[in-house]
A = this chain, B = another copy of it.
Amino acid sequence: MKPNPVCVVGACLALLSLSLRAQLPAPITPAWTEVAPGVWKTTVGSPESFTLLSAAGAPAPAVQSLAALPKAAFPLDPKEIEARRWDWKTALRFPLALDEEIYGLGVDFKSMRRTGAIYQLHVDHWSGTPGRTHAPVPLYLSTKGYAVFFNTARYLNITVGHGVRLAAREKPPVIDRTTGKGWSSAPRSDSIEALANAEGMEILVFAGPTPLDALRRYNLYCGGGALPPKWGLGFLTRTPTKYSAEQALNEIAAFRKNGIPLDMLGLEPGWHDQAYPCSFEWDKTRFADPAKFLGEVEKQHVRVNLWFNPYIAPKTPLYEKLLPFAGTHLVWNGIVPDYSMPAAQKIFSDHLARTVLDAGPRAIGGFKIDEVDGSDRYLWPDSANFPSGRDGEQLRQTYGLLLQRTIYDLFHAQNRRTLGQVRGTNGGASRFPFVIYNDNYAFDEYITAVGNTGFAGVLWSPEVRGGKGEDMLRRTQAVCFSPLALFNGWSTPDKLWTHAEVKDAIRDAIVLRLRLLPYFYNAFAQYHYQGTPVIRPMQLVPGFNAALKSESGKLDATANPYAIGKITEVKDQYMFGDALLIAPIPPDVKSRTVILPAGKWYDFFTGKLAGENETIEVTPPSNQTPLFVKDGSLVPMIGERQWAPEAGEIIPLEIRHYGTQSGQLALYDDDGETFNYEHGEFSWTQLRATKDAAGAWHGTVTPGADGRTWHYSDVKWTFMTPTPSSP
């Protein structure tokens, strides 16, 4: 029998194909080890020892809290996870189902959803390039209830749902674009692919069962979320850069005179005798006697926050000490110390302790770490080298982390909590009490970023920088419902009381922030002890049914040649803590829509039913931000005051109950200032609101395990929602 020639050709082709395929890197199926409850790790190739988690100080996972979460199996099919190694590259493929959406991958100012996105995750000052952001945390979260973290200090390329593989079992349909219907310029793939220029990588997978649980596990694995001091939840004002000690004290006095709460005073570059790069020495023309100044500040119940960028000016005492640790490149002619080296961290930390903290330990609240993100225009190039043997890319990805860790450790060693600001951070930062900020002043973008931080294990705060009355009012209202409420007056003559027409409304917003302090503090306690993000983007809220809206694209030869469609998502409202839904009002807007999740939601101010699983239109008075409370929630509040409660202070508490369901709340408290909570000095008070047979509401307070209700007393219950009168 003669061989069928077609078959022979076929066989040749098959052989050729096999021999050519053999040139491709062999796929590796990684083996996963459970390293903490619901957390699995693998390593591919030879990972570098310097990673995001090592830069963040190798935080000890909060194992007990992790164990308290529901038991969970490895959340993916391990056979569907593939690694490849070739040359100096490491690639990973994770599966992505058609009905799966991906969130996370760091703080982003434009969008929440990552499915269909392609990033190079790269620490940078946001200027519109996807992936280049202040916190490009390589953590993604799936609506299927798991999260994946790439623990690498290298830039990470990540492709979510693009790039269909030849080997994919199910491929999108092949459609002739000329005549067919439904051709797509970007057919959905079944993969999330990640690539780094590295000879290996460590990867972690976090189980759910819910997406929020997966985030909790990530935050707990990183040591639990940051617990700021209570005063950190008050109000911060940053003074003009050339202010002297006297002017700074006058600023505090002006807040007090205007009845606007103030807890933190930010000193800008002018406290250094040389800035950009910095000296880390007090400027004696503006601050002749720092200790005296700080003593005065302390009397006013205010903490000072000191600005710096970490590049050291020539001809300063610190310069000589850090010069041996300098990288090959300068920033504004200042050396760039290799803070990845413990010896450099120690020199810097010791100098801060001696020059700054020793001058007024109680009055120094923290630092603002500026310009550790970029841009490329002034940061070191990737081609820089550092004495540790690390390079520009590794230091770029971790510089903010390294400095947060240095500052945090300095305060921790003194058993004093700190709250700071930082402009660049990365994965592993959950436990650091630093809030990210930037120069972006687009209202919608900075609200999007507030929400996005919930996916990233970081905190972000918008700013108010002066301007017209209405603009300042709306921005102040927005910052008061963000992790850090601040006015950044570094370069404006405006003050919060400049505009008579909005002055009272601005004050109302900040006063309400202080009144809600127990509620906010509790949200941070949940962040710390349970890993629950303080800010929850709507996509994490159970019962939020506002589906992504897809709109197919219309072909236009010049404007849309690939007929790319649009997807609309909700990014202008979010939740802070378990109970409050925040819907900020942009400047020059009188009313807006709010999408209420399933279940009943109540107006915070009136207690009245606002709606349930629906979109409502709200037109609040100008002195209010639309706030909605979930049915059955308890909102702990305190009376109006000008600064946060201090350690040992006992104050009355108001517990508001909203809705028709009974409510309960575990209310956390501790001294609010030290790390004594690490040694068990804290309490969880159990609060319950129930309705009796006669329809009357009652509140009960059960002290925590230590038998104390801690710093609150005289609990007053307010049942906000009027009982409907019988028909």
Contact = CB atoms under 8 A, between A and B. Distances in A.
Contact of A270 (B165, B178, B320): B178
Contacts of A391: 86-87, 89
Interface in A91-126: 91, 93, 116, 118
A382 interface: yes
A661 B263 CA distance: 79
Interface stretch (A221-229, A322-330, A361-369, A695-703): A322-330
Interface stretch (A34-42, A186-194, A510-518, A623-631): A186-194
A381 interface: yes
A174 B273 CA distance: 13
Nearest to A338: B20
B197 A555 contact: no
A679 interface: no
Contact of A558 (B165, B269, B441): B441
B333 A159 contact: no
A321 to B, nearest CB: 8
Contacts of A91: 383
Given A88-B88, A274-B176, A186 B378 contact: yes
Interface residues of A, number: 103
A385 B86 contact: yes
A697 to B, nearest CB: 47
Given A174-B314, A558-B441, A558-B467, A162 B275 contact: no
A163 B378 CA distance: 6
Contacts of A128: 128
Given A197-B88, A383-B84, A490-B557, A166 B329 contact: yes
A173 B88 CA distance: 40
Given A166-B329, A174-B277, A185 B377 contact: yes
Nearest to A329: B163
Contacts of A172: 333
Contact of A328 (B165, B199, B241, B492): B165
A157 interface: yes
A20 B324 contact: yes
Interface of A: 13, 16-17, 20-21, 23-25, 84, 86-89, 91, 93, 116, 118, 128-129, 157, 159, 162-167, 171-179, 183, 185-187, 193-195, 197, 199, 241-242, 269-270, 272-277, 283, 313-315, 320-321, 323-330, 332-335, 376-389, 391, 439, 441, 465-467, 488, 490-492, 555-559, 561
